[in-house]
Structure 1
Amino acid sequence: MSTNIPNHTVVHPDCRHFRGDIPCRPNKEHGYQCEGCPVYAPVQQRILIIKLGAIGDVIRTTPLLRRLRQEYPAAYITWLTHTPAILPQDAVDEILKFDFAAVLQLQAREFDVVFNLDKDKEAGALLNTIKATQKFGYALRPYDGVAWPANDLAQHKFLTGVFDQLSLQNTKPYVQEIFELCGYEFRGEEYVFDNHADKGYQWPQLPAAGRRVGLNTGCGDRWTTRLWSDDKWISLIGQLQQAGYAPVLLGGAAEEERNQRLQAATGAPYLGHFPLPQFINLLDHMDLIVTQVTMAMHISIALRKPTVLMNNIFNPYEFDLYGRGQIVQPNRECVCFYRGSCKLGTSCMEDLPAEKVLAAVQATLPIAVA
């Protein structure tokens, strides 16, 4: 679509590169103007994804981008989130941080398709107020202010989120549920993710590649029933070292003291905690990652790393390791589904022996015998 402004200059406001407030990149880098521009790329559909947070949930929603690019190759995709930095900058045309300014402009625009993948009330309210031809996911019921399926496709995911009994019976991984909510069949699409290899991070302290086993020792402070004791970690580290692996301690600021204790007790390398892009790149240098259900798990899957997932309080069907790992659970059945504290006083994670985790590591990343 071409538009002539009063001085007869041709403008293509429908072009993927056009900004309106500042010169586009082709103009800035090559001096192109709209008339006769060799990289003019008219947008045929405008799509909005509302997926606010947490970081792990944003990461594991990125496979949807692969299907959308296949279904709508000429689409302009906007993503609204609390954590813009985690999204791959080259896979999304416009990444907006959820704030008043972003909401104000989105409500003034029109979209062909909007996917709201969050049950947060503000996300549902936004879906209600945005002009779009098609809407998927969750809306906000105006008369009582509760989240509600925008159409029948969202009913399965909605119901498994409000009834524990249905959640326990569910056998669909999260990514499949999200695809179906959006009207697509999941075909094993991988995550879209940046390993930050272009940042030039160096890790000379790491042991030789080929047998590095990253141990992510934390799990956040919301679901503390997932925590494994220091004694269990020390036992696993010793068994990994004896089996010929090189365990590396991983974590954020919350795991600093624990990892220092584990390093002192075992000699396993601990390089410290880092900003998120650097932490992601450190994980990318692992050959396998042992983790609980936390952000590092999502990063590991996104980086296509062999993953040994230690799980107790969540439905194991929720997690798709894409055939690159194993899920290990305690020998005692967990009775604290989605609970942050253990009803029995002692978490069943203490009934997950280090030997069971070691066996999963050996099955997933065998060490060749000379």
Structure 2
Amino acid sequence: MAGALLLPLATFVPRVPSLLHNVPVRPDCRHFRGDLPCRPNKEHGYTCAECPVYAPAGKRILLIKLGAIGDVIRTTPLLRRLRHEHPGCFITWLTLTPAILPQREVDEILKFDYASALQLQARRFDVAINLDKEKEACALLLNVRAEAKFGYTLREYDGVPWPVNPQADHKYLTGVFDQLSLANIKPYVQEIFELCGFDFQGEEYVFDAHDDRGYDWEALPPAAQGPRIGLNTGCGDRWTTRLWSTEKWIELIHGLQAAGYAPVLLGGEAEHPRNLELQAATGAAYPGTFPLPQFINLVHQMQGIVTQVTMGMHISIALRKPTILMNNIFNPHEFDLYGRGQLVGPNRQCVCFYRGTCKLGTSCMEDLPAAKVLQAVRESVPL
């Protein structure tokens, strides 16, 4: 309009006093969300003014451990030490597999994606730990703001993953030189504790057995048939040199049955055809395949587990089951069974360290007798 007086837009916006000046809000509380009502408000109607469960968060800690699932599981002992060293701390865990983490023990679980990476870089932490050498994880540790950083970052000028603190040097070097990896005598859990500046004191995994789901396991052998021994028959498709032949599994199953144990076949979709074959040949129980939480609870029903180095192995250790671990291509010192179970290997020296194919044509796993595994079960799971 001709001759109209042009005023700044802010002139037309009514100035309303902020409600935050009149309504008490406690964003430092570990329950407070900011984008949604907190659980105490949703479940009990509490507000910050008179909240009986107000709990100010202590140090803010970011833990980056993306995958694989087994490595995420065996990182959980760190939760115990972090809680001990930093009482009241608020732990944020970034991962590719949120469902595997203990929901009650981690304050904030984020799935690794663009949205999570974006908001983490806008926040400030007291401690940030990255246990992965994947470049995206290293880049995130480089860019996140934290008073103290542990683990691996990214060198800006060449994009190479690099230790961010001296304590990370050992674990870093064993991952880039096979000679050092072969000579290493420290279990993985001890290595990651030392990487964070802690001494490992035998802290157990933190894990959820999903006993509250009410799963029906009537198909499992009853207690009268003897201790249930779970047989995790697969090993994934990356390092197939770990595989044990069908004939060996059949021999072990018959030996277990004769000794008074109740073998139960375990696995996922990849193991399904083999487990059906083993069931048909031996009559061993095979309940089928299940989603991850139900599979975890199935493993929890066992009195012992026979497995290769797989996700099932980590689940078994986390559930504190006697674990008979069949290993050939990995450094045996890497695995801590916490005094439960035994590690058994072939009767000839493996020459295929971290290899997916055997240099000699036939995997040395064929030189692991079923009788040797059976004896380890007998010693670890008494009748």
Is the structural similarity TM-score above 0.5? yes
State whether structure 2 residue 349 is matched by structure 1 residue 333: yes
What does residue 278 of structure 2 align with? 262
- Offset at residue 36 of structure 1 (A): 2.4
State whether structure 2 residue 57 is matched by structure 1 residue 43: yes
Q: Which residues of 2 match residues 212-251 of structure 1 at below 5 A?
A: 212-251=228-267
CA distance in 2, matches of 1:53, 1:132: 22
CA distance in 2, matches of 1:230, 1:30: 56
What does residue 178 of structure 1 align with? 192
What does residue 80 of structure 2 align with? 66
State whether structure 2 residue 307 is matched by structure 1 residue 291: yes
Mean CA deviation greater in 281-290 or 26-35: 26-35
- 1:111–1:131 contact (8 Å) kept in structure 2: yes
Any idea what the Cα deviations from partners look like across 1:211-235, whole Å, max 9, x if unmatched?
1110000000000000000000001
Q: Which of 308, 314, 317 in structure 2 is aligned with 1:301?
A: 317
Report SS of the residue matched to 1:162: coil
Q: Which residues of 2 match residues 301-320 of structure 1 at below 5 A?
A: 301-320=317-336
Report SS of the residue matched to 1:11: coil
How many residue pairs get aligned? The number is 364
Q: Which of 109, 127, 144 in structure 2 is aligned with 1:130?
A: 144
CA distance in 1, matches of 2:255, 2:348: 22
1:252 maps to a residue whose letter is: G
- 1:5–1:11 contact (8 Å) kept in structure 2: no
1:71 maps to a residue whose letter is: E
CA distance in 2, matches of 1:319, 1:114: 26
CA distance in 1, matches of 2:258, 2:48: 65
- Normalising by structure 2, report the TM-score: 0.94
- Offset at residue 7 of structure 1 (A): 4.8
What does residue 87 of structure 1 align with? 101
- Offset at residue 208 of structure 1 (A): 2.1
CA distance in 1, matches of 2:301, 2:336: 21
Report SS of the residue matched to 1:331: coil
Report SS of the residue matched to 1:137: strand
What does residue 361 of structure 2 align with? 345
- 1:48–1:79 contact (8 Å) kept in structure 2: yes
Runs of 4+ aligned structure 1 residues displaced above 2 Å come to 4-7
- Offset at residue 5 of structure 1 (A): 4.3
Mean CA deviation greater in 105-114 or 70-79: 70-79
1:255 maps to a residue whose letter is: E
What does residue 22 of structure 1 align with? 36
Q: Which of 260, 267, 281 in structure 1 is aligned with 2:297?
A: 281
CA distance in 1, matches of 2:237, 2:249: 18
Any idea what the Cα deviations from partners look like across 1:313-360, whole Å, max 9, x if unmatched?
000000000000100000010000000010110000000000000010
Q: Which residues of 2 match residues 76-155 of structure 1 at below 5 A?
A: 76-155=90-169
State whether structure 2 residue 370 is matched by structure 1 residue 361: no
- 1:44–1:75 contact (8 Å) kept in structure 2: yes
- Offset at residue 6 of structure 1 (A): 4.5
CA distance in 2, matches of 1:36, 1:256: 55
- 1:115–1:135 contact (8 Å) kept in structure 2: yes
Mean CA deviation greater in 6-15 or 315-324: 6-15
Report SS of the residue matched to 2:110: strand
CA distance in 2, matches of 1:86, 1:6: 38
- Normalising by structure 1, report the TM-score: 0.97
CA distance in 1, matches of 2:378, 2:45: 57
Over aligned residue pairs, what C-alpha RMSD do you find? 0.9
What does residue 164 of structure 1 align with? 178
CA distance in 1, matches of 2:42, 2:287: 41
Gaps of 5+ in 2: 1-17
Q: Whose radius of gyration is greater, 1 or 2?
A: 2
Any idea what the Cα deviations from partners look like across 1:16-72, whole Å, max 9, x if unmatched?
010001111111111111112211111121000000000000000000000111111
Mean CA deviation greater in 30-39 or 87-96: 30-39
- 1:47–1:77 contact (8 Å) kept in structure 2: yes
CA distance in 1, matches of 2:124, 2:41: 26
Report SS of the residue matched to 1:101: helix
CA distance in 1, matches of 2:42, 2:126: 30
Any idea what the Cα deviations from partners look like across 1:179-238, whole Å, max 9, x if unmatched?
000010100000000001000101101112351110000000000000000000001111
- Offset at residue 156 of structure 1 (A): 0.3
Cα distance 1:295–1:6, how it changes in 2: closer, same or farther (>3 A)? Answer: closer
Mean CA deviation greater in 29-38 or 94-103: 29-38
Q: Which of 325, 330, 340 in structure 2 is aligned with 1:324?
A: 340
CA distance in 2, matches of 1:283, 1:238: 21
2:189 maps to a residue whose letter is: V
